Each structure stands twice: as C-alpha cells, then as structure tokens.
C-alpha cells in the first residue's frame, strides 16, 4: 500500500493558489491511476487506484495546510502505511517556480504543512516532491504570495511541473526506489 498526499487548502477560494500546487498535482496522479476523488475519510478527500496490483491511496487533506499532519497520521493508521510508502507533494517557496525537487527525507523547512506532518507523525524519513513557486519578480510577504492566485502566464509552466511530479509519484507507487525516481526526475 502506497499513500500519496498532496497538500493544499480545501476551500474554493484557494483552488488556484500557489499553496494548492500539491492538490493540483495529485489530481494528475489520480488521472494516471484512473482513479477519482470519490471518498471522504480521515479528514481527507480520497482517490483509490492500483499499480502493478498494489493499492495506491491518493489524498488531499481537508484540514487546511497548517493541520495536514492530522489527516496524514489518520490515513497512515487506517491503511497501515509505513514511512517508506509515504510520499508528500507540496509547494516550495525556496525553489524557483516550476522546478521540482524530489527527496527521500528531510526537514519541514519553511513549510507549515510539512511541519504539521512531521510534528503529528514524528516521522521525517519519507519521500517528498517539492514544486517550486518562487518568482523573483514578485516582492510581497510569503504568506500573501503563497495564498495568491497563480498568474495565467504561469499556468502552462505549473501544469508541466505538476505533470512531471505526477509521473514521478506514479513511478514511486510502482515500487521504483526513491533514489531512482530522484535520478530520473530531479
């Protein structure tokens, strides 16, 4: 069993914001799996699919970004997911817009959603895909920036980054080692 979580905020007003890149990306993952977000459980919207006979849970926590850890902890307990079978996808202000970075483990950095997951689960050796959102031309406070809507000029760039990240997540779900996924997609 593999659990792929995309971080974001559930309300319609956040739908096209930078902070919802994780939500957007797991939509691509679900599409690759032929799965639909139909269930709500563990404070999450869930899509279930299969790759090579293994069940894959794709989730969008409904707890808001800063409490994402609550949902992840519940999902891991319900589905008995181990740390090595967890992948979290999220926006990263520390990376240039459109760049993806895959890691096998790490800290929360400046991301409150990741801070919540690490705090709630006590884990940090799980895979993550970070999608860069920083725009050097924009000079506003981070909190205002991450909650602002993605500019139409950048839709294609972020759609491409999310597609690539979704493909990387599908490789991970197939059982490809995170090191090999990093070599292929970083």
- Calculate the CA dihedral of residues 83, 87, 89, 93 and round it to 10 degrees: 50
Please indicate whether residue 111 is annotated as part of the active site: no
Number of domains in the chain: 1
pLDDT tens by residue, the chain, 186 residues: 999 999 999 999 999 999 999 999 999 999 999 999 999 999 999 999 999 888 999 999 999 999 999 999 999 999 999 999 999 999 999 999 999 999 999 998 889 999 999 999 999 999 999 999 999 888 888 889 999 999 999 999 999 999 999 999 999 999 999 999 999 999
CATH of the domain at 14: 3.40.50.1470
Range of the domain at 141: 2-185
What is the structure's pLDDT at 140?
87
What is the structure's pLDDT at 81?
97
What is the structure's pLDDT at 172?
97
What is the structure's pLDDT at 139?
85
Q: Which of 4, 19, 114, 172 is catalytic?
A: 19
Task: Specify the pairing of strand 100-103 against strand 127-134.
Answer: antiparallel
What is the structure's pLDDT at 55?
94
What is the structure's pLDDT at 52?
86
pTM to 2 decimal places: 0.96
Tell me the C-alpha distance between 106 and 120, whole Å: 15
- Of the CA atoms within 13 Å of residue 95, those in its CB half-sphere come to 20
Tell me the C-alpha distance between 32 and 51, whole Å: 10
């Amino acid at each position: 069993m593999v659990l792929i979580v995309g971080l974001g905020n559930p309300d319609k007003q956040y739908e096209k914001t930078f902070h919802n890149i994780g939500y957007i990306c797991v939509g691509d993952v679900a599409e690759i799996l032929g799965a639909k977000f139909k269930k709500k459980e563990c404070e999450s919207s869930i899509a279930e699919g299969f790759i090579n006979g293994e069940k894959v849970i794709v989730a969008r926590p409904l707890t808001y970004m800063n409490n994402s850890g609550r949902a992840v902890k519940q999902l891991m307990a319900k589905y008995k997911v181990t740390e090595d079978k967890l992948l979290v996808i999220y926006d990263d202000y520390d990376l240039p817009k459109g760049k993806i970075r895959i890691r096998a483990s790490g800290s929360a950095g400046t991301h409150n959603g990741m801070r919540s997951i690490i705090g709630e689960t006590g884990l940090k050796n799980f895979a993550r895909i970070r999608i860069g959102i920083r725009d050097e031309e924009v000079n506003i406070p981070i909190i205002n920036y991450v909650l602002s809507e993605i500019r139409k000029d950048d839709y294609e760039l972020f759609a491409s980054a999310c597609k690539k990240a979704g493909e990387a997540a599908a490789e991970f779900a197939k059982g490809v080692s995170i090191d090999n996924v990093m070599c292929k997609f970083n």
